Amino acid sequence: MVEYRKLSEHTGAEILGVDLSKPQPRDIVEDIKRVFAERCVVIFRDQKLTQPQLVAASALFGEPGQYDLPVEHRTEEELKQLPQIMMITNIRKDGKPIGALPDGEMWFHHDMIHSQNPHKATLLYAIEIPSWGGETVFANLFAAYDDLPQEMKNRLEGRMALNAFNYGAQFRGDPNAASTRRQAVHPAIRVHEETGRKAIYMDRLMTHSIVGLPQEESDELLAFIFDHIEQEKFTYEHKWRKGDLVMWDNRSSIHARKDFPAGEVRLMWRTTLLGEAAPARSVAAG
């Protein structure tokens, strides 16, 4: 059985003694999946991975997806990466970032909730990190749903939410984001396919409205939800070290990035795991 330690009350677990550059026994992989399903985020410290090894490690937990940024928006350096790899970095060439999401903080969000078929998980591997800052904060949305007042669960029952994203946006209305925009409608409350648990499936960066509600009512409800799910009691804040590999479940968690010094290098490699469209069906409150 795999050894691990919990990182906060609801969110995160550090997996101990696993070297993902090497093949892993099926029972260890299944144990990690079990911990992952419960804790939403798992951390592997001190990994030493090439890009092919990162893709192979990702494949232990599902089918790796491909970077979905339209080719016309990719840099020359991004086009040289493996198709499963997205670079998250502030490194610049001729004054322009060579990768995605280069600078500063980023609002809480689900990766790819703006897609019709969101990827179920994200893996992020730290190559270079700054001397301070750049922490990633994760929130467990199973716990956030369980903690909702019953009246709020009733209001969200069966509701759908519109999610939209301009590529590269780090906050709503980011002027540096690309004009290319994708959007998708998903259940406001998602039933996790593997655990059967309910999770809030909305976030501050990408959820724009609740379908069928007047705008004022939608805005009021979303403001409550965003403040609720970002409460510290649901979160784990990850302080990165070089060699960290972090995997999070996009169906049951959100994440945000804190600010860091623009003059210091931050370089991460990101992969994702393919998922399915969130089930578009009524979700019983409770």
Which string of DSSP letters, residue by residue, matches 219-270? HHHHHHHHHHHT-GGGEEEE---TT-EEEEETTTEEEEE----TTS--EEEE
What pLDDT score does 167 carry?
67
Which string of DSSP letters, residue by residue, matches 59-96? HTSS-B----S-GGG--HHHHTS-TT-EEEE--EETTE
What is the rounded end-to-end Cα distance, in angstroms, of the chain? 33
What pLDDT score does 73 carry?
77
Domain map of the chain by residue range?
3-273
Smallest Cα–Cα separation from 68: which of 52, 84, 46? 84
Q: What is the pTM of this model?
A: 0.93
Reported as a pLDDT band with limits 50, 70 and 90, residue 70 is confident
To the nearest whole percent, how much of the chain has pLDDT over 70? 94
To the nearest whole percent, how much of the chain has pLDDT over 90? 85
The token pair that represents 23 in the structure block: 């093949």
Class of domain 3-273: alpha beta
